[in-house]
Structure 1
Amino acid sequence: MEQSLKSNVEMWKILQERDYFATHPCYRQEDGSLLTKASDDQIIERFMDLAAKKRVAVIGCGYGRDVAVIAPKVGHVWGIDVSELILGKAVAYLRERGCDNFTPVLAERWKEDLPGGLDLVYSCIVFQHLTRELVRDYILNIPGKLAPHGEVLCQFADMEYGTRDAGLEHPHEPSVRWNRQDIEALVAESGLNLYALERQPIEGHGDWWWAHFGPAAR
Structure 2
Amino acid sequence: KAHDFFNMLTNPSIEVTSIIPVNDEVIFVNSALTEEAVEPLKTSSVVLAAYTTANARLVLYEYLERLDQRVLYFDTDSVIFTEQSGEWSPPTGNFLGDMTDEIECYGPGSRIVEFVSGGPKNYAYNVFVLGDNREVTMCKVKGLNLNYKNSAIVNFDTIKDHVLNNTPETFVETDRRIARTCTFEVISKPEKKTYRVHYTKRRRLEQG
TM bin, normalised by shorter chain, reads under 0.3
More strand by share: 2
TM-score, normalised on structure 2?
A: 0.22
Q: What is the TM-score normalised by the length of structure 1? A: 0.22
